[in-house]
Amino acid sequence: MTMRKRLIEWVVLGLVVGLSACGDDAGSADDAAGTGTGGGGDDAAAMCDPVGATPEVGALLNAPVAADVEVIQKTPQHPGAPGPVDLP
Amino acid sequence: MSPSTIFSRSAGSAIGLAIAAATLVTPQSASAADVDCVSLPNPVYFPATTLLESLLAEIAPVLADPALGDDQMTIIHFPLSSCIAYDLHREQMPLTGTAVYYLPDGTQSECDMPEDSDIRSDLQAMDVGGVTCLGGQAPPAELLEYPSHVETLGFVVPRNSSQTAITATEAYYLMKFGGEAEQQVAPWTNPDFILVRNPGSSTQLTVGANIGIPGTMWNGALNGHQGSGDVRDALIAQNATGNAEEVIGILNSSKWEAALNDIKVLAFQPFNACLGAVFPDSTSTSRDKRNVRDGHYPIWTNLRYVVRTDGNGAVVTENGDAAAARAQRFIDLMTGADAIEPLNVASAIIGTGNIPTCAMHVTREVDGGPIASFEHDAPCECLFLEENGVDSGCATCSDDTPCAAGTCRFGYCEER
């Protein structure tokens, strides 16, 4: 029972951390719209992996930036799923 | 034969070395120089990455000044791709062709090596580690690498392009498939307009390490170039052709920052990054390298100076003890181990678009490898920002006006 409860806690925590690290717009319709041959609803979500293969790198890459930092949300133009895994 | 196809991955192969020797002749060598390199005072024979050209233009004239006395030296630069320069030094091949040097007044000039030259390199510089050039093999024990400042690299487009960003996955498709049908990334679909370097280039190797496809495996249809200056010139030329929107290249910050009227760097979204794409600087127009220095922008590398050493760790060169002493002195000055009054290396590094390690908050052990948090023992954050025209908020200080808190360094009160 305790293990099950802990598992649920980890899942909930993971969802919360993932969503907060990815920002409010990461999974929005605008981001997922795509144009041309690329884009797609799964692209933006899959690219937003706050951990990756190396947790410390993920933490540095996804650390909050100051308000004056310019961040561009680009609709991917490549075919297929985003990397880094399962690239052709 | 295009530069991108002439250098095999086996960097130490006979083919690679033969080609390296052939390409030692710089692009300017079509017209022979009137000066013999061996006639220059206190020469330092220095095959090195083309990414170092901007910094050498600041440093070499100061060192050429006879007023320096025993420290006077003539830096004779053979501008090459990093791994080609590394092979020349590692194999101690005779240096031939035309090289670049500077007069004390800052004038860039050229000199010719003797046709039957038996002169070898005294030291070498590159933007990747020897292990990268050797395809993962350990470098020879006698080669000692001195890590130095950080070079920022990135994707660039002509100023007349409307593009502002690229993702790591998009870059992967560009470099692997080179515009192949069904694998295209708009608007960069024509391989003739995708301007890259060659498999021995530290720029290409470093960019490749951050986009999931090694720089040695990029598509042969891409438009390869021997030096970073060649990429810059080709990219700028496209501003006037009507093709600017289709053009993209890879370059180092010292080159694009010297051509901001004609070139702009793209924001880059790394793999696993959730925030979006960011520029090396905090914005497209700032010059603070904030995202490089704090770990948000990963396409960067450390310059390394490479010397040969004896069993006791002392620098050696085939050109004699005096040449070895000059090589060691040059490295000491460039890495901050020692300093002389007229030479402000930190300012020169900053002024040419690079980052001294004292301004970095992240580091990495392996080329293109994981980034880790880092704090320098003697930080120079204030100097770095002020030299880039950014208000650091730091108090100024001097011997007569010490800091109320922190440490006075380079004229500013650093936190530590």
> pLDDT tens digits, residue range B162-174?
999 999 999 999 9
pLDDT over 80 (residue B409): yes
CA distance A8 to chain B (A): 24
Mind listing the pLDDT tens digit for each residue in A73-88? 999 999 988 889 889 9
**B321 vs B11, higher pLDDT:** B321
- Residues 6 or more apart in contact with residue B395 via CB below 8 angstroms: B403, B404, B412, B413
Give the residue on A whose Cα is nearest the Cα of B209: A84
Is pLDDT above 50 for B287? Answer: yes
In tens, the pLDDT along B218-246 reads: 999 999 999 999 999 999 999 999 999 99
Instruction: Give the other-Cβ count within 10 Å of B323's Cβ.
Output: 23
Q: Is there a contact between B167 and A73 if contact means CB atoms under 8 Å apart?
A: no
pLDDT confidence band for B374 (50 / 70 / 90): very high
From chain B, which residues contact A within 8 Å (Cβ)? 164-170, 172-173, 176, 182-186, 212, 267, 269-279, 282-284, 290-291, 294-296, 298, 362, 370-373
The whole-number pLDDT of residue B32 equals: 55
Chain A: give the shortest CA distance to residue B195, in Å. Answer: 19
pTM score, whole prediction: 0.81
- ipTM of the complex as predicted: 0.81
Considering only CB atoms, A21 lies closest to which of B169, B274, B283, namely B274
Q: In this predicted model, what pLDDT tens digit does every residue of B174-195 receive, in sequence order?
A: 999 999 999 999 999 999 999 9
Pairing of strands B98-102, B108-112: antiparallel
Query: How large is the average pLDDT for residues B312-335?
Result: 96
Return d(Cα B355, Cα B280) in angstroms, integer.
11
Instruction: Give me the pLDDT at residue B29, please.
Output: 38
Q: SS3 of A66, please?
A: coil
> What would the mean pLDDT of B249-260 be, rounded to a whole number?
94
Chain A residue with Cα closest to B298? A61
Calpha distance B251→B361 (Å, rounded): 23
Higher pLDDT, B383 or A37: B383
What count of Cα atoms within 13 Å lies in the side-chain half-sphere of residue B380?
19
pLDDT digits (tens, 9 = 90+) for A8-67: 344 333 333 333 334 333 333 333 333 232 333 344 444 678 888 889 899 999 999 999
Q: For residue B337, what pLDDT is reported? A: 87
State whether residue A72 is helix, strand or coil: strand
Residue A10 backbone dihedrals phi, psi, to 5 degrees: -65, -40
CB contact under 8 A, B274 and A38: no
- At residue A36, the 3 state secondary structure works out as coil
The mean per-residue pLDDT over the stretch B252-273 comes to 95
Inter-chain CB proximity B275 and A88 less than 8 Å: no
Summarised one tens digit per residue, pLDDT across range B124-147 is 999 999 998 998 899 999 999 999
Under 8 Å between Cβ of B101 and B78: no
Q: Which chain A residues in 15-74 lie under 8 Å from chain B, judged by CB atoms?
A: 21-23, 26, 35-38, 47-54, 56-58, 60-63, 65-66, 68-74
- The phi and psi torsions of A71 (rounded to 5 degrees) equal -120, 130
